[in-house]
Amino acid sequence: MKELVERIQKDGRILGEGVLKVDSFVTHQVDPVLMEQMGQRFAEVFKEQGITKVVTIEASGIAPALFAAKELGVPMIFARKAKSLTMDEELLTASVYSFTKQVTSTISISRKFLSSEDKVLIIDDFLANGQAAKGLIELCQQAGAQVEGIGIVIEKSFQDGRQLLEEMGLRVVSLARIASLTNGQVEFLEEDA
């Protein structure tokens, strides 16, 4: 997506270790106009799939997922990383290992919000090693829900996430695809949408 690629070129900052800082428009301060455009793009791409729920993970996946859900006319569910005091009902849970943080965390969604009737679009802000997306897929599988596709804002194509998800037979659509972050330069691949 041209607008996103241009915004990364303008406001993205490269940190060491292959990390792109986009805290002025995605991960901390959020640009609602750009988020809405991205939500509309995801909805356009997946509109024929009969999506009934958009699923993401807190925190930074929520903004793009919410706009995609609004455009598709369906609810958005965000998996929680910590158990909420009011989550006393039955939970779907999965373990997610973060290579970046080298910790395993448990993510969860209340069982009542996903069922075998659901066709799910998974959305997240970053795709690196794909472990967060894999955890969300596991939650959907536990509910018997069908994952129809995965929409990603920024894919780091030099990491293994896309390959992992495609090997599971899933369609991955990324609005920006980063080939490399070396020598202080952001190099892009052609984006999917």
For residue 184, report the phi and psi dihedrals to the nearest 5 degrees. 65, 15
CB-nearer residue toward ligand G4P: 82 or 112:
82
- Give the nearest distance from C-beta 81 to ligand G4P in angstroms: 7
What is the C-alpha separation between 23 and 29, in angstroms, rounded? 6
Total site size for ligand G4P, rule CB under 6 A? 21
User: Looking only at residues 21 through 40 of this chain, which bind ligand G4P when binding is defined by CB under 6 A?
Assistant: 21-22, 27
Residue of 128, 140, 153, 175 interacting with ligand G4P (CB under 6 A): 128
Q: Which of 129, 142, 146, 180 lies at the binding interface for ligand G4P (CB under 6 A)?
A: 129
Do the Cβ atoms of 132 and 122 come closer than 8 Å? no
Query: Which one, 39 or 61, has the nearer CB to Na ion?
Result: 61
Rounded Cα–Cα distance for residues 127 and 175 (Å): 11
SS3 content of the chain, % helix, strand, coil (to 5): 35, 35, 35
Site of interaction with Na ion (CB under 5 A): 27, 60-61, 125
Residue 78 sits in the site that holds ligand G4P (CB under 6 A): no
C-alpha–C-alpha distance, residues 30 and 187, integer Å: 23
Angle at 122 between CA 118 and CA 47, to 5 degrees: 70
Q: Provide the mask over 92-111, with x wherever binding to ligand G4P is found by CB under 6 A and - wherever it is not.
A: ------xxx-----------
Rounded Cα distance between 110 and 94, Å, is 12
Contacts of 34 (CB under 8 A, 6+ apart): 3, 4, 7, 25
Could you say whether residue 131 binds ligand G4P (CB under 6 A)? yes
Binding-site entries: 20, 27, 128-132, 156
Binding-site entries for 5-phospho-alpha-D-ribose 1-diphosphate: 128-132
Binding-site entries for xanthine: 20, 27, 156
Interface residues with ligand G4P (CB under 6 A) are 19-22, 27, 58-60, 98-100, 125-132, 156, 161
